[in-house]
Amino acid sequence: MPFDVVAQQPKLLYLLQGVAAFAAVVSLILLALHRGPVRRRAAALVLLAPALLLLTIGLLVPGLRTLALSFTDRGGDTWAGFDNHVWMLTDHRALVALRNTLAWVVLVPLASTAVGLLYAAAVARSRFRAFALSLVLTPMAISFVGAGVVWKFVYAYRPPEAGQIGLLNRLVVAFGGEPRQWLVDSPWNVLFLIVAMVWTQAGFAAVLLTGAIRAVPAELTEAARLDGASPGQIFRRITVPSIRPTLLVVLLAQAVGTFKAFDIVKTMTGGQFGTGVLAHEMYDQAFRYGETGRGAALAVLLFLLVTPFVAHRLRAQRRTG
């Protein structure tokens, strides 16, 4: 359906009202600060108030409500104690989702950072750096849903006697193998989904790491070379230790992003064949099955799992910044 301005008029009007209200609030605050002598602390408070208010409405309240919902039953209105949490840690499918999520969180950051690092090391000092980087960044420009659809085709299965439409099976058949149902055979299908995620994420790692590698002082590598170090030694002993902070940031950012992996699983397998992850299982429980309590419990678990990563990142930022 094309975007119809007339049909969308009420929504646009709301938007306009929202923007106007926001502008009014900001002007009021600025005006209040402008008038008369105000203490610095009070001024900070006034300036922070809108952000705090929005955080409370948009983050704190829903978060607490989700926590409360995780203790309720299906409809979300009767107390159910720890039933949902017990279910989550004993149900076969929920455990499979947990196992898969852990596999994703370990493998995606490691694999995409490794691929990104090798790529960065190869192109950092090259003349075609800009071109090479834009090439590896292209998958990032594609949405996860788009990437999922593309990879679903790569793994497509057709019977041996028919023509293969999937790239991977086509290669397998060309080398004399039997076509396989890549997305169906558990647990390896989880790895094939992870490959799709790594494909979208490696570019991000490559770009950040290229920048970091270029920031390594040339004197250091030069001195190492004069001392007779091989390129491999320089990479291991000089480059990698020098870019350790960036490596860590990349790894953690990827890990946090991977916890929320949803789109690729939804488009490629819909969580079937034992490929579900927590975020997808949460969506299924809460919205498709109407099991609000279970969905909320999974959301809380996801939150708890992400927290250490975010906390570590914040601490690291405070140290460096």
Partner 1 sequence: MWSGARLALAVITLAVTATACGTPQGSGSRSRTTADCAPYARYGEHPGTEVTVYAENRDREADLFEETWADFAHCTGIDVRYEGDGEFEAQIQVRVDGGNAPDVAFFPQPGLMERFARTGKLKPVSAGVAALAKQGWSADWNSYATVDGTLYGTPLVSNVKSFVWYSPTFFRDKGLSVPRTWTELMAVTEKVAASGVKPWCAGIESAEATGWPVTDWIEDVLLRQQGTDVYDQWVAHEIAFDDPRVIKAMDTVGSVLKNDRYANGGFGPARSMASISFQEAGTPILSGDCAMHRQASFYADMWPKGTGIGPDKDVYAFLLPGADPANRPVLGGGVFTAAFADRPEVRAFQEYLASADFARARMRKGPFVSANRGVDPADAATPVDRLSIQLLQDPRTQFRFDGSDLMPASVGAGTFWKGAVDWIGGASTRQVADSIERSWPGP
- Indicate the SS3 state at residue 172: helix
Q: How near is the Cβ of 174 to partner 1 at its closest, in Å?
A: 18
Q: What character string, x for contact with partner 1 (CB under 8 A) and - otherwise, covers 172-191? A: ---------x-xx-x-----
What phi and psi values does residue 128 have, to the nearest 5 degrees?
-95, 25
Q: How near is the Cβ of 283 to partner 1 at its closest, in Å?
A: 7
Rule CB under 8 A: say whether 85 interacts with partner 1: no
Residue type, 113: T
Rule CB under 8 A: say whether 10 interacts with partner 1: no
Rule CB under 8 A: say whether 263 interacts with partner 1: no
Question: Residues with Cβ < 8 Å from 44, sequence gap 6 or more?
Answer: none
Residue from the set 132, 136, 156, 209 that interacts with partner 1 by CB under 8 A = 156
E strands along the chain, which residues? none
Rule CB under 8 A: say whether 289 interacts with partner 1: yes
Q: Which contacts of 279-287 are long-range, i.e. CB under 8 A and separated by 24 or more positions?
A: 279/101, 280/97, 281/93, 281/94, 281/97
- Indicate the SS3 state at residue 79: strand
Rule CB under 8 A: say whether 231 interacts with partner 1: no
Which among 26-34, 60-68, 233-241, 281-289 is the span making contact with partner 1, rule CB under 8 A? 281-289
Give whichever of 87 and 235 is closer to partner 1, judged by the CB atom: 87
Rule CB under 8 A: say whether 51 interacts with partner 1: no
Rule CB under 8 A: say whether 58 interacts with partner 1: no
Which among 198-206, 223-231, 286-294, 296-304 is the span making contact with partner 1, rule CB under 8 A? 286-294
Rule CB under 8 A: say whether 74 interacts with partner 1: yes
Q: What's the CA gap between 305 and 313, in Å, rounded?
A: 14
CB 70 within 8 A of CB 79: no
Residue type, 266: K
DSSP state of 163: P
CB 173 within 8 A of CB 165: no
Rule CB under 8 A: say whether 283 interacts with partner 1: yes
Give whichever of 291 and 301 is closer to partner 1, judged by the CB atom: 291
Q: What's the CA gap between 108 and 204, in Å, rounded?
A: 12
Which among 20-28, 41-49, 151-159, 232-240 is the span making contact with partner 1, rule CB under 8 A? 151-159
Count of CB atoms situated within 10 Å of the CB of 111: 20
Q: What character string, x for contact with partner 1 (CB under 8 A) and - otherwise, covers 117-136? A: --------------------
Give whichever of 46 and 83 is closer to partner 1, judged by the CB atom: 83
Q: What's the CA gap between 244 and 212, in Å, rounded?
A: 9
Which among 18-26, 87-95, 205-213, 224-232 is the span making contact with partner 1, rule CB under 8 A? 87-95
Q: Is 36 exposed, middle or buried (0-12, 13-18, 19+ CB in 10 A)?
A: exposed
Q: How near is the Cβ of 301 to partner 1 at its closest, in Å?
A: 18
Q: How near is the Cβ of 216 to partner 1 at its closest, in Å?
A: 47
Count of CB atoms situated within 10 Å of the CB of 20: 10
Q: Calculate the CA 194 to chain-centre distance.
A: 12
Give the interface with partner 1 as residue ranges (CB under 8 A): 2, 4-7, 74-75, 83, 91-93, 156-157, 159-161, 181, 183-184, 186, 266, 270-274, 283-285, 287-291
